[in-house]
Amino acid sequence: MKILVTGASGLLGRAICSRLHKYSCFETVGTAYSRATEDLVRVNILERRQIESCIEKVRPDCIIHCAATRKPDICEKDPALTTRLNVDATEWVAAGASKIGAWMIHISTDYVFDGTNPPYHPDSKPNPLNAYGKSKLQSEKVLPEILKDFCILRVPILYGPIESLDESPVTVIAKQLLTGREQEFDNWATRYPTHTADVAFVLRQIIEHKRNNPAFGGICHWSGNEPCTKFAMARVISDIMNIPKQNITAQDTPAPGAVRPKNAHLDCTLLESLGIGRHTKFAEGLADSIKPFLAA
C-alpha cells in the first residue's frame, strides 16, 4: 500500500513517516518544502500544479495531509495566507486524491471548537474562535464537496521528537525556562498535550481498519488523556530540567493574542470502541523530547 504524507518534515509528519516505515506493507512517500531533504519530495503546497503533479506521479492509495500553518497568533495576522495554506491547499490535495481514487486523511484541530462545553464528540457543533480554527473548519468542509470517501482526524496540542525547542508549543516552554528569567504561563486554558508518536500509531491503526472495513470514514478524534494548563506543563518541564519553580507564575486570565478556547477536550470514544488508540505518559514523553537539548 502506497501512502503519501504531506508536510513530512514537520513535527507530526516526521512521526507518521517514522511509524509507517516500520511496516513492509507500506511504501511511504513524504513531501516537504522549506525543510525538504533528499528522502522527501519537494512540493510547495501554495502551488496547485506542484501538488497535482506529485499526486499523479506517486499515485498513492492513501494521502495523509499534515501540511498546514498552525500558530494561532501568526494566522491571526495574515488570514489570507492562512486560508491559502490551510484551505486552498487542502482543496487541491483532495482534488488530486479524487482524480486517482485515493483515500484521504486530513489532519485537523480541536480549535474548531469554542471550548465552552467539553468534551467534544466528532458530531459536536464547531464554533472556532480564531483565524486558525476557522481556516481548519473551512478545510474540513472542503472534503465532502470533492470526495466521497475521506477521514478527518482532529488532534489537540502536539509534542514529540523535535528539531528545535521552538517546534512545539509545549517544548517552547522549556526554551523560556532556560532563560532563567521569571516567566508567567497561562493557567486559564486546559489543554491535552498529545505525543506525535501516538497520533502516528493511531493513524496506522486507522489505515489498517479501513483496509478491513471499506465503509469506515468521516470525522474522528484523538487526544492525550492528561489535562493540564501551560502553567502545569511548565512545572512538569521544570522537574525534567531540574529548574527551581520560584520563577514560574500562573496567569489565571486568558492569554493575550489570538482568542483560544478554554477547554476543547476531544472525546475519543469512537476510535477507542474500535480498539484504536495509544497514550504515552506526558512526563515521560516530554522528558524524551527535551533531554537531547539539555545535554547539548
What is the b/e burial string over 228-266, where b = at least 16 CB atoms within 10 angstroms of the residue's CB?
bbbbbbbbbbbebeebeeebbeebeeebeebbbbebbbb
| Per-residue pLDDT at 266 | 98
- What lies within 8 Å, CB to CB, of 240 at 6+ separation is 174, 283, 286, 287, 290, 291
| Per-residue pLDDT at 239 | 92
Query: Which domains, ranges and CATH numbers included, belong to the chain?
Result: 2-162+194-224+265-279 (3.40.50.720)
| Per-residue pLDDT at 295 | 61
| Per-residue pLDDT at 247 | 87
- Greatest distance between any 2 Cα atoms in the chain: 58
- The closest of 167, 166, 188, 174 to 259, measured between CA atoms, is 188
Give 10-residue mean pLDDT values along the chain (296 residues): 95 95 91 82 94 96 95 92 96 97 98 97 97 97 96 97 92 90 93 98 97 95 97 94 89 90 98 97 95 75
At 250 the three-state DSSP class reads strand
SS (H, E, C) 191-207: ECCEEHHHHHHHHHHHH
| Per-residue pLDDT at 36 | 67
